[in-house]
A and B are shown apart, each in its own frame.
Chain A
Amino acid sequence: MEINFFTRSPCACYQPGYRMTDSISSTANSYLTDPPGLRSWLFTLDHKRIGLMFLVAIGAALALGATFALLIRTELTFPGPTIVNSGYAYNRLFTLHGAIMIFLFILPSMPSSFGNFVLPMMLGAKDVAFPKLNLFSLYLYVIGVVFFLLVLVFGGVDTGWTFYPPYSTGAAGPVVLAVVGAFILGFSSIFTGINFLVTMHTMRPPGMTWFRMPLFLWALYGTAIIQVLATPVLAITLLLLGVERLLGFGIFDSELGGDPVLFQHFFWFYSHPAVYIMILPAMGIVTEVIAVFSRKHIFGYKFIAFSSIAIATLGFLVWGHHMFVSGQSPIVGMIFSALTFTVAIPSAIKVFNWLATMYKGSIGLAPPMCFALIFIFLFGIGGLTGLFLGALATNVHVHDTAFIVAHFHYTMAGGALMAFLAGLYYWWPKITGRMYSIAWGQISALLIFIGFNLTYFPQFIIGSRGMPRRYFDYTRLLEAHPEFTFYQIISTVGGFMFVGGLALVAFVLIRSLFAGRPAPANPWGAATLEWQCSSPPPHENTPPPAEVGNCYVFDDLRYDENIKGYVNRES
């Protein structure tokens, strides 16, 4: 097979025999209904079905985590006990909010749902390399969720999602259940990572070279590397914690001769790369969406591709920046601080490339693009505040304050969650075969944007002025800082607005299932391969075209008013 080079071929992804009427969705023969029956879903090997089931479960996890978020916000609105009476109760709220959001929602959110659904189609493969392992990943995820639900049933844990010993080795409550749940979820993540790495290495069709792959796949590749290398370290850390609780092995508990700071090193050795598991696929989605909705070739393809790998690599070298005040030596602190500054660089490269892509592009503000733009803004703020935290002096000042809380919410919620929503709005027509109301989607984006900023910006302010995190009663701080209550009230109003916006997103999308018009194959005019098949896709993936073209060239697509979607220009 002749290798085709990077050319602007007249027909980007022309599929011989492709007809316009193929664009109109017909669920009669899609992956949703073919094969029929509940058993075929429960034991499916189809990556599209697995991705969809992950999506549903992940959405439920988001709702659960958001519920805890609202409880926290309500409690913090006024100083003193508001809806909970004790620190113990409040500690359980933020522990569960953190653990659910991180382990059940964000970490699997993009790789396991969109990654599973889209990766084989974008690549031109028939499925992932190990479909049974994929199904096993889904089962492990569900089992992990069950463990966390059991934790809730048994009263929750109050150790913080970070499970620091010596408190966690002796704390009351189902810590071992929580830790086992996270262990199992970790393996779900590892197996997804293995699947994606092998798929991308061995199942690219002829012509789909590394540098012809869409950038979302490069992002998933970086993510998979981290999933495979970092998650086992979390697994052993949690295993040792559980064993220490149950049997008194003295690894972390100083009373038994252990070292609590060792736990912090192990824990953050995973958990820092974990945040890159969260953000890399997010950035991949933003890359795709920005290119499509600027109708312009992505700027700096290779820079973006390599920056994903650079983030994955550098992300392993900076875990100590979570431990500047743990008593580690100042030299070690300085080294981690310097490395933390370097890991910001690839992220900044991506932001510049996105902006350069948009420059002189033809920008369409459909909901995916709204969220991608929101991502750039909010992640920009989050990332820059990360630099403040990477600097030793400022870190010591704001460590364990609301400033940190604001920083990671700007990056995780203002970043990863926004990109998740962008991906949801972007691929929804493909996954379900339905179009949703664009106007209401845009309204949801606005509501979320305003609500989010109202929630978290005040937390930067009060955090820098000394409001500690994980405190439920800040009455004593009011003497020196009477304005804290005011900012907390704004934050709570914003929180409800933010969650209201999320509820609106859910409403818009679910309503589309009943009242949305059938989606064409390519409503957005994208040039990656998953848009070549019908919406929703058939059970068997569409074979890739004989010539793999450039997936960021949009000239070869024209809008067809009859189907309200894009079709390939006939040659």
Chain B
Amino acid sequence: MTGPNTTNATRGRDGDNDPQLAHHFDTPRRQYDSARLGMWIFLVTEILFFGGLFCAYGVFRANNPAIFFDGHLFLDKPLGAFNTVVLILSSLTMALAVRAAQTGRRRSLVACLVATIVCALIFMGVKGVEYKQKWDHRMVPGQDKIFHWFSGEKGPEPRKQFRPDESYVRARLAAEGFENLDQEEYDRRAARLGTFMGVYFSLTALHALHVLAGIAAIFWIFIGSIRGRFGRQYFTPVDLVGLYWHLVDMIWIYLFPLLYLIH
């Protein structure tokens, strides 16, 4: 096929003989366009999905800024910054992978996909470290309940109150200049911390789930690329997974300053 609408997606593809052309599409170009449009609409739904959470963040922060100020003291800024860099790097490698697929450079494609997966795994690892820190100091909301479920104890579930490790919290607050808090003041701050942790874990855990899904998708593309499925003629799945991955990265780019960099 030649002409003004010829792209790498369509050059050399003959509708009748193209094994990748689905029966209900007239031309490969139309199939590619449909797939991209479908993925973009799906990304819009993802934005609205996270949007609800960002909205909750906005409402809580507007109504009670103290929650967020206290809360961010307990997040590890360097780790968060490192994760941000890692994820942006993974977006770069993903974009390079898409370009490699479009230009038919198979080795480059495989290498870039591997790099993306490695970056994503590093991100998850650092997240794991952060979460473990929180877990060790009993700062995960519902931690007592989870203990209770897994301990196999009988009896009533612990009340849904957020009770972090008091010495750790006091020490951290003292380091910021809030020393010698009386019990009432401490309880108030601990409760606020609970709300912050709820928002923090909701946002970051949901994001982490999407990173995991992204890793699975990139792995699927990786298998396909090893088998030589993608090239100049057909690279739609790589393109679409790339779009998804960029969205996941972008969500983190919003998350990081909103949660970690509060003044």
Contacts and interface: CB of A to CB of B under 8 A. Distances in A.
Contact of A232 (B25, B49, B55, B141): B49
A246 B49 contact: no
A160 interface: no
B41 A250 contact: no
A262 B63 CA distance: 12
A541 B243 CA distance: 33
Interface string B177-206: 000000000000001101100110110001
Chain A contact residues (Cβ within 8 angstroms of B): what range?
Answer: 35 or more
A250 B48 contact: no
A559 interface: no
Contacts of B194: 250, 256-257
Given A202-B30, A202-B33, A248 B142 contact: yes
Contact of A126 (B24, B33, B141): B24
B154 interface: no
Given A203-B30, A249-B198, A250-B198, A197 B41 contact: yes
Interface stretch (A15-23, A66-74, A235-243, A353-361): A235-243
B52 A237 contact: yes
A153 interface: no
A460 interface: no
Contacts of B63: 259
A136 interface: no
Given A129-B34, A198-B34, A203-B34, A248 B162 contact: yes
B24 A127 contact: yes
A128 B34 CA distance: 10
A240 B56 contact: yes
A251 B199 contact: yes
Interface in A197-222: 197-199, 201-203
A253 B52 CA distance: 17
A247 B44 CA distance: 29
Contact of B45 (A128, A190, A244, A247): A190
Contacts of A239: 206
B44 to A, nearest CB: 7
Contacts of B41: 193-194, 197-198, 228
Contacts of A203: 24-25, 30, 34
Contacts of B145: 246-248
A127 B141 CA distance: 47
A150 interface: no
A131 B3 CA distance: 30
B174 interface: no
B59 A259 contact: yes
Contacts of A259: 59-60, 63
Given A236-B53, A257-B195, A249 B38 contact: no
B50 interface: yes
A531 B53 CA distance: 46
B241 to A, nearest CB: 16
A202 B23 CA distance: 15
Contacts of B160: 248, 253, 255-256
Contacts of B195: 250-251, 256-258
A239 B198 CA distance: 13
B1 interface: no
B228 interface: no
Nearest to A540: B23
Contacts of A235: 49
A266 interface: yes
Contacts of A251: 56, 195, 198-199, 202
Nearest to B59: A262
B168 interface: no
Most buried by B among A233, A239, A243, A249: A249
A253 B46 CA distance: 25
B213 interface: no
Contacts of A250: 141, 162, 194-195, 198
Nearest to A249: B198
A500 to B, nearest CB: 41
A47 to B, nearest CB: 9
Interface string B56-99: 10011001000100000000000000000000000000000000
Contact of B52 (A133, A233, A257): A233
A240 B59 CA distance: 15
Interface in B227-246: none
Contact of B142 (A126, A128, A249): A249
A231 B45 contact: yes
A431 B164 CA distance: 61
A309 to B, nearest CB: 16
B220 interface: no
Contacts of A64: none
A125 interface: yes
A247 B48 contact: no
B135 interface: no
A503 interface: no
B226 interface: no
Contacts of B171: none
A229 interface: yes
B67 to A, nearest CB: 7
B129 interface: no
A139 interface: no
A236 B23 contact: no
B34 A202 contact: yes
A130 interface: yes
A67 to B, nearest CB: 34
Given A201-B37, A249-B198, A257-B67, A232 B45 contact: yes
Contacts of B162: 248, 250, 256
Contacts of A255: 160
B146 interface: yes
Nearest 8 pairs between A and B by C-beta? A247-B142, A248-B160, A249-B198, A236-B52, A257-B195, A127-B24, A232-B49, A126-B24
26 contacts: A127-B24, A131-B24, A193-B41, A197-B41, A198-B37, A203-B24, A228-B41, A228-B45, A229-B44, A232-B46, A233-B49, A236-B50, A236-B51, A236-B53, A240-B56, A247-B145, A248-B141, A248-B161, A249-B198, A250-B141, A250-B162, A250-B195, A251-B199, A257-B191, A258-B198, A259-B60
Given A240-B53, A244-B198, 9 more contacts: A129-B24, A131-B22, A198-B34, A201-B37, A203-B25, A228-B45, A257-B191, A262-B56, A266-B56
